[in-house]
Each structure stands twice: as C-alpha cells, then as structure tokens.
Structure 1
Amino acid sequence: MQPVKIMIVEDDPQQAALLQDMLLEQDYEITGIAGTLPEALKLFYTQPPDLVIIDVYLHGKRDGITFATQINESGDMQKPFIFLTSAADRTTFEAARLTTPFSYLLKPFNELELQYAMELAIERSAGADSGQFTATAEKHTVLIHDFFFVKNGNTLAKIMLDDILYIEVEGKYCKIVAGKEKYLVQQPLKLLLERLPEQQFIRVHRNFMVNIRSVMKLNLQENEIVLSGGQSILYSRRYLDSFLHLFDVLK
C-alpha cells in the first residue's frame, strides 16, 4: 500500500507549511511545494503527483489558473486538482471554473474540509462508471489506471494492481489480498472482474479471481494454484481452459 502523492502550489510559505502539515497528518505524501508557475511546471513533470492543490493567485497573478490549464493539456499526465484561494469574488470563481477543477476551497479552511475535498476530487477523477467500488461506511476504493485508491478510516492510500495476488468471495463482500494487506469490498466478484484488466485478472473458481502475474505453480492433481506470496488457492475445472489459455505451456 502506497500513500497518495500530493503536489502543493502555494506562494505563501506559512500557508504552504500549514497545508503540508495537514496532509502529512492524514498520511499523504508530499512530492514538493512550488511557489511560482515555472517551479510548478518543473515539479509536476519531474515528480508526477496523484493530485495537485493549487492556489489561484501566485504573487498577485492568476498563475494558478494558467498552471491548471497547462496540466489539463498534458495528455496522459493529466491529474485531478483542487483550487484554493482567499478570493471569494464571482469573477475569480468563474475563471477557475473554466479549467474544471475537482473542488474549490476558500481560505481559511479546516482539516476536515480539506480531507473531504480531496476524497471528492479523487472519486470524481475516477468516475463512478469507470471503476468506483463501494465498500463499508469506513472504506472505499476507486480504480484509476493501474492502481486503487483505498479509503481506510481518515486516509487514502494506493494499491498497485500488480501487488494484488487474488480476490476472494467472503460472504457479502470480496476480500482483496495485496501482499500482506487485505481489504473488504462490498461488490460481487463478477462486477470486480468486469472492472479489472481482463488480460491480468481471471476467474479461476466461483469464489476466487487471481492476478495471473502472481501465479508461480499449478498443481493439476490437487486443483491448486500457488502464488508468489506463498499462498495457495483452489481452481475449478470449469475455468481451467480459459486460465491455461493465457499462458504458454511447454510439454
């Protein structure tokens, strides 16, 4: 599990330090702090974040909006961002709105307001139709590209898809096993399978889905799959052909 990487664009050192402390308290990772437009662009491309928090005004200019416009045009590197500002006028808001931020915070804000804004930004950037999995009231996971954002308590963390060993049905939930970590998700296995890369995750039993990159051995006599973490799960003959089809088998 990896922390969510946050980049801060803020020209006031005290405000930047306060914001950084709030984020570190919530177990986020700070990639860096930029106080000017050139610094922000350099930091964004050299240490890509998962989410950017941008002050609208940098040294009296709307360079935060300029920066947001440029990262919106960065193709595959485009990231969700949150605006923050002490300017409450409608003109500033409308100018910022054109860049489609994922949230908009007015200074001064508190830690809870920041936390909620960030969670909404991440969930909106994923989109409900492109992979949001609803779990218990205390946990949520959102699939973006090749990793999950996982909400656990008051923090968000990343789980890389490659780190997932298998997913198992557990009552009304599915248990995602990633290394030594386990997460319960309130979604059926079939729905998770539809939302994960089909060339990487495959159903091998009515109760199991496996990451084929974690497969180390296949015991044909015991109907057992041995994974890279040392775990063993059962497979069903019903799914064997489709499972073997993904591998080059030398005889």
Structure 2
Amino acid sequence: MDSLKILIVEDETITAMDLRETLQEAGHQVTAIARTFEQALKSVKSQPPDLALIDIYLGEESTADGIATARELLAHNRMPIIYLTANSDVQTFQSAKETLPAAYLLKPFRHDELKLQIELAYYYFQSNLKSAVGSYVSGPLYLPIDKGHEKIDLKDVLYLQADGSYVKIFMVKKDLPHHISTNLSHLAQYFSAPNFYRLSRSLLINLDHLERVERNYLFLINHKTAIQIPSVSRKELMKKLTVVRTK
C-alpha cells in the first residue's frame, strides 16, 4: 500500500520505539511519538496524520486517557484510529467503541497483525469517504483562515493540493492559494461532489474547470500551471470524461 503518515500516542518508550520500527519497516512515516494528550494534540495541529495508533492508558503526565485523546484529535482531523491496550475489560472496550475505532488491538501486539490492521483501516476509511458522495456539500464552505472563517463557493475551487502539513486550495481568479492546516483526506470529505475527482493522494481537482488533457498533463481554465497526471490515474480519469473516439 501507499506510505502513510502515522501518529503514535504511547507513553511507554520501549513500546513506542517498537511501533515506530515496525511502521518504518512497512514503509510508513511516523509524524511523532506523543506521550500525552497535549503532545498528541499539538502534533495533529502541526502535522496532520493519515492514521493514529493510540494507547488507551496513558501515563500520569497526560491530562486525558487515550479515548478522550482520540475524541479531541478526531475533532481536528478526521482519520482512522487504532487503539492499543494491555487491558481487555468490557467497560473500557465499550467506551472505546463510542469513538468508532478502526481496530482494537491487545498488547503485546503482533507486528504482522498490526501492519494488516493499518492497511485495512485506511482502506475502509477511504471507501467510506467515497460512499459519502451522495451527501455532498452543495452550499458555500467556510474555511478556517486568519483566526476566522472565510466563505468560498465550491464552484470557484480549481483544485486542492497536499503540501506537507497543509492543503493548498487554488481558486478561480486568485493568484495565491488558501493554506489550510489539515491533511487532504480530511478536507476531501467537504469536496465529495461528483465534479471533484481525487487524481492522487496529493491532488483533488474540479473537473468543471478541466480544459485540456494530454498524455502526462492536464490544464485547468485560466490556470497557467500544468498539473502532472500520475500514470496509474490517467485511465480512471479518462473514464470520468466524455471523450470523442476516432477510428
């Protein structure tokens, strides 16, 4: 699968190091190892991950346990959560269920199982995003900009591009994009209308502004910069368009 950005929330140093090594061996990037609620929240705000591994029982330094931490993180960044715990009591499990985790793994975890659960969690998360197309946002959207919220019309959005811990939103008749502190997977849920197409993990384009398609590049109306088409995405993109075929 593609490399994911993963946050580890774990107060036991040895376990955290073991998790990081396992994830890196699988080709993933660890955005941070957070020991407390505060560190986890700071990390999500500065470098939004694609997925989070969270220990339910954090140490005394943390002002909240893993479940409360997960609730707060999800309020800032929609993503799959995988819980890790050494305790299998029913009450804890029921509380964890309320946050709709992607998986609930008991320690000591098996490395191969963890890798599989991560892949499944992210796959189903992306599938659920796609299935939400029927309930797409149709009105104006208010973006968190300059300590407030600025109104934009979705029809004026050219494309969205992931850029580290930010997403750049390019607009019609605007030279500079908006910079939103989140990841593209989270923001894409607000751009699930049929005219928005996920070209790659880092690009989401508005097909209504598509002017020209070449073998390796596409061009949007009144936008000077050509956008490269990943080779694996071109076939699916062409299926979205009504193309005149010649003999």
Q: How far apart, CA to CA, are the structure 1 residues paired with 2:98 and 2:128?
A: 22
Q: Does 1:161 align with 2:210?
A: no
Distance 1:114 1:227, change over 3 A: closer
5 Å-filtered alignment, 1:190-201, equals: 197-199=206-208
- Name the TM-score, length of structure 2 as normaliser: 0.56
In structure 1, stretches of 5+ residues that fail to align are 132-142, 147-157, 163-195, 218-225, 241-251
Instruction: Give the aligned partner of residue 68 of structure 1.
Output: 70
Mean Cα displacement is larger for which, 117-126 or 12-21?
117-126
- Helix, strand or coil at the partner of 1:78: coil
- Indicate the structure with greater strand content: 1
Asked if 1 retains the 8 angstrom alpha-carbon contact of 2:218 and 2:228, the reply is: no
Alignment match, 1:121 = 121
Paired residues in the alignment total 170
Give the Å deviation of 1:121: 1.3
Inter-partner Cα distance in structure 2 for 1:211 and 1:104: 42
Paired residues of 2:212 and 2:219 also in contact (CA < 8 A) = no
Q: What is aligned with 2:192?
A: none
User: Residue 6 of structure 2 aligns to which amino acid in structure 1?
Assistant: I
Residue 2 of structure 1, CA deviation: 7.3
Report the equivalent of 1:35.
35
Aligned pairs (5 A) from 1:41-56: 41-56=41-56
Q: Does 1:81 pair with 2:81?
A: yes
Change over 3 Å in CA distance of 1:129–1:6 after alignment to 2: closer
Q: Quick one: percent identity of the two aligned structures?
A: 35
By how many angstroms is 1:100 displaced?
Answer: 0.8
Gapped regions of structure 2 (runs ≥ 5): 132-183, 189-199, 232-237
Which residue number corresponds to residue 141 of structure 2? none
Distance 1:202 1:26, change over 3 A: farther
Please tell me the residue identity of whatever aligns with 2:51: L
The structure with more radius of gyration: 1
Superposed displacement of residue 91, structure 1: 1.1
Question: What RMSD in Å do the two structures reach over aligned CA positions?
Answer: 4.1
Alignment correspondent of 1:222? none
Over 6 Å off, 4+ runs = none
What's the offset of the Cα at 1:48?
1.1
